[in-house]
Amino acid sequence: MPLHQPMEHIVIIGNGISGVTAARHIRKQSDKRITIISAETDHFFSRTALMYIYMGHMKYEHTKPYEDWFWKKNNIELKRAFVQQVKPEAGELILSGGETMAYDKLILAVGSKPNKFGWPGQDLDGVQGLYSFNDLQELELNAPNNKVCKRAVIVGGGLIGIELAEMLNSRGIPVTFLVRETSFWNGVLPSGESEMINRHIKKHHIDLHLGVNLKEILSDENGKARAVVIAETGEEIPCDLVGLTAGVTPNIDFLKDSGIELGRGIKVNRFLETNKPGIYAIGDCAEQHEAIGNRRPVEAVWYTGRMMGEVVAQTICGNRIQYNPGHWFNSAKFFDIEYQTYGWVHSDQRKPEYEDHFHWIHPDDTKCITIATHRDSGKFLGINTFGIRMRHDIFDKWLTEERSTDYVIQHLGAANFDPEFYRSFETEVLSAYNSQTVNV
């Protein structure tokens, strides 16, 4: 009789959307042994819902897409631990406390950590990011109400920064927002949209400072943040909380001595394989050797993390396929204005020579559309919408069919998620498009 072959052990480090998607899809296709290691929480939760817990719209248990019994029922082992070291040649992990774990295949889905740029005082009490569940717990201690936290300062003008501003604002905590750029998120958004968001932030009584940098964070006698200093002016702003939201960086420090090739993130090919056989990286810790189209080599986006989890599961289960995320899309929220983008609409700073923009803004200053067109061919390149919810499947189809912007404008109502609402200004958009001088 043949000897019994031991079951292949797949270990996944990280229980975010990437790692959990990989585990679920491996289980759907195989009976391999699967272990998920995470030091953050016992079970998977929706990271994008963190803000709603703080704002009182949800409880933590509401953010878990699967019941706690799901993991046992699907024979997925959960291990609460830090991984301190990966030893590829031995096929072994060193966990916190010195415990070891062997693996046959390893998936690195370790996510990101908030950026710190060596500011004096950045490690004081009362200084924190907003990325993990632990950060949320820390925020509850640092800013439970406007009596304990009389003012907060947020450093960094990205999506996490504006989420934190909305969260603190919901508890009546005054917020000063320090943004390095001359207009909010203008490295991503065209100027018309960026300036609309500037106005919207100020309408919510946020003290927005544009074109400024943090010099240092000052300490009180107990080692807690008491103020920040602005580099350009030397102005001192008293505060009880400093939110560092100047972007995130792949969480790869523990891999420095592993022999796994690293750049800004963990280097992978189109199959999400690292330079070490049997080791993969997915989610916002993974860095493509060569960027895919206009995409960045590292993408900290929820849906691409999920797609990577599905792709790597196929490969591990014997169907080796390349990661192909398709047309770019994303969504976010700026207080009560929803944002969606499909295809590519570049900021004024990054706009290629061939790209022209049509921009329409509603008189209420909370809704706008920007459409990017190829100057020579008239081809539709992408659309940004604010305050108008659009249908992903329609724009995905039009981008694949390489429709013209003329066609898109004429049929824009078909793409609207709420056509009755859109119809009230459909004529206005069409009229503006027909009469507007294209911005070059």
Q: Where are the chain's structural domains?
A: 9-113+249-316, 127-246, 329-435
pLDDT at position 430 is: 86
pLDDT at position 5 is: 62
pLDDT at position 422 is: 63
Alpha-carbon dihedral sign for residues 426, 394, 191, 211: positive
DSSP codes joined into one string, 79-134: EE--EEEEETTTTEEEEGGG-EEE-SEEEE---EEE-----TTTTSBTEE-SSSHH
pLDDT at position 4 is: 55
What's the distance, CA 402 to chain centroid? 28
pLDDT at position 97 is: 86
pTM: 0.93
pLDDT at position 427 is: 83
**Chunked mean pLDDT (size 10), the chain, 440 residues:** 72 97 98 96 91 95 94 97 97 95 98 92 97 95 98 95 97 98 96 98 98 98 98 97 94 97 98 98 97 94 96 97 96 96 97 96 95 97 95 97 96 84 77 70
pLDDT at position 439 is: 46
127-246: what CATH class? alpha beta
Q: 76-80 and 329-334 as β-strands: parallel, antiparallel, unpaired?
A: unpaired
Distance CA 405, CA 382 (A): 9
- Domain 9-113+249-316 homologous superfamily, CATH: FAD/NAD(P)-binding domain (3.50.50.60)
Same fold, 127-246 and 329-435: no
Distance CA 336, CA 387 (A): 8
| Whole-Å CA distances, 316 to 118, 255, 280 | 40, 22, 10
Between CA 396 and CA 404, with CA 399 as vertex, the angle to 5 degrees is: 135
Domain over 329-435 is classified CATH 3.30.390.30: yes
Are the C-beta atoms of 17 and 310 separated by less than 8 Å?
no
Amino acid letter for position 238: P
